[in-house]
Structure 1
Amino acid sequence: MAVLVRAIFFALIVAVVGGLGYPRICIPDTIPLIKGFRNLDVTKLTGIWYSFLWRRNPQVPDDRVLSEYTAYVTAGKDGALSFFIRALPKDGQKCTDINEASSLVPTGNPGDFSFGPSESNNHFKIIDTDYTNYLLVLRCYGEDKQGRCQRDAIQLWSRRVGLDPIYVYSGMKTIAQRLCKTFEGFRFSVHKLACNLREQVTKK
C-alpha cells in the first residue's frame, strides 16, 4: 500500500514538473559540463542519509535492486568525503556494505569528487542540497571532456526515511533542468530500517 501511495505521489510530481515544461528546455547533446554545488560545506553533509529516489542508466535488473539503501557520511581532510553505504539485496538475507564511494577525493571543482582508479575518470557530484533535508547526487562513470558519462546514477537522498513533497519537487525540477534527464526509470527506495546505520554513528 505504501509503495502504491508513493507511486501515485511520484506520478503527480512528474505531471506537475512535466507540465511546466522542464524536461523540454534542454537538449542533451548541447548541455554544458555538469557542475557541482558551489560553496559546498562538506562538514554539513556528515551523518545519516536515506536514499529516497534513484535511477541508474543503464537500468539495474530487477534481481539486483537493493533496498534499505542508507549512507553514513563523514568528512575528511582537505574536503574529502566518505559515503559508507549499507543496503539489502533482493533475497533479503543479509545487509551488504558498498564501498564504491567510501573515498571521494575533491577535484578542485565545486562539489565534484573523483573515485575509483584515476584512469576511470569517475566523478561523484553533489548537485544540490540544503544539508538538513535533501541531497541530490550524480555518479558519472567514465566522464569525457564534454561532460558525458558512459553510464550514470542519480540519487535523491533524505535525512529521514520520507521526504516532504516540496523537496521531491525541487529535486525533480533540478534533475530536469540541470541534468537534462527525463523521469523514466526512477525508483523509490524501500526502507524498513533493516540496515540501520545508527550503530555506525556510535562507533565514530
Structure 2
Amino acid sequence: MQSQQQTDTIGAAEQSFGRAVLSARESRRLTQRQLVDKLAAFGLAIDTSILSRIETGQRSIRLGEALVIANALDVELFALLGQTRSPVGEFHAARRWADSAELTLEEPLREFMNSALALRASLVETPGLLSELPEESQPADADAYLDWRSERTRRRLAELIQGGRDGIQDDRDVVFVQSRAEVDAVLALVRSYAEALIRFGDFVRLDD
C-alpha cells in the first residue's frame, strides 16, 4: 500500500509531465485535436478529453503512453520527465532535429522556387502582366522579377517582425545568430540545399 508521501510524489510527477506535454504541444503550434491525431498514427488511441486530463495531471500515464507522446511531439522522453540532458544528449537531440527539419524542407522550398519561376515565365510570355502586380514599385521587366520579389520578401518580413503582426508571432518565428559569420554560414547552408534541387533545362509549369 502506498504511503501518502508516495502518492503525493507520483501526483507531482504526473502534473510535471502534463505541463511538459502542454508546453511541447503549444511550442509546436499543435491543437489538442492535432496531437490526438498524431498519437493515433503512432498507435495510441485517446481523445482530446483524455489528453486534457494528461496535460493537467489528472490522469495517470503509463510508460508506453509516455513514450508514444514523446515520439509524437518529437522530444526526448526524459525532457518530458523534467530530467536534465547531458551535453552529448543535447548534441544528438539537435542533430535529430536538424535531420528531421531537413527532410521537411525539400517540398516547400521546391514549390516556392517553382512558383516564383512560373510567375516569371508568365511575365516573359505576357509583359503586360507587370501592371497586374499590386505594389507601387514594380519590376522594370520580367528579367528583374526575381530580384524584385526577393527585395519585396525581405521588406515584408522586416515589417512583420517589427510590427509583430500576421505571420510573425514571437521569437520562435525568427532565427537568432551571434555574429555576421553565423549569418553567412546559415545562408550558405540554405543556398547549398536550394542549389541541390535546381537543374538546368527548360522550365516546366506546375500544371503541365
Q: Same fold (TM over 0.5)?
A: no
Larger relative contact order (CA 8 Å, sep ≥ 6): 1
User: Is the helix fraction higher in 1 or 2?
Assistant: 2
State the TM-score, normalizing by the size of structure 2: 0.21
State the TM-score, normalizing by the size of structure 1: 0.21
Larger radius of gyration: 2
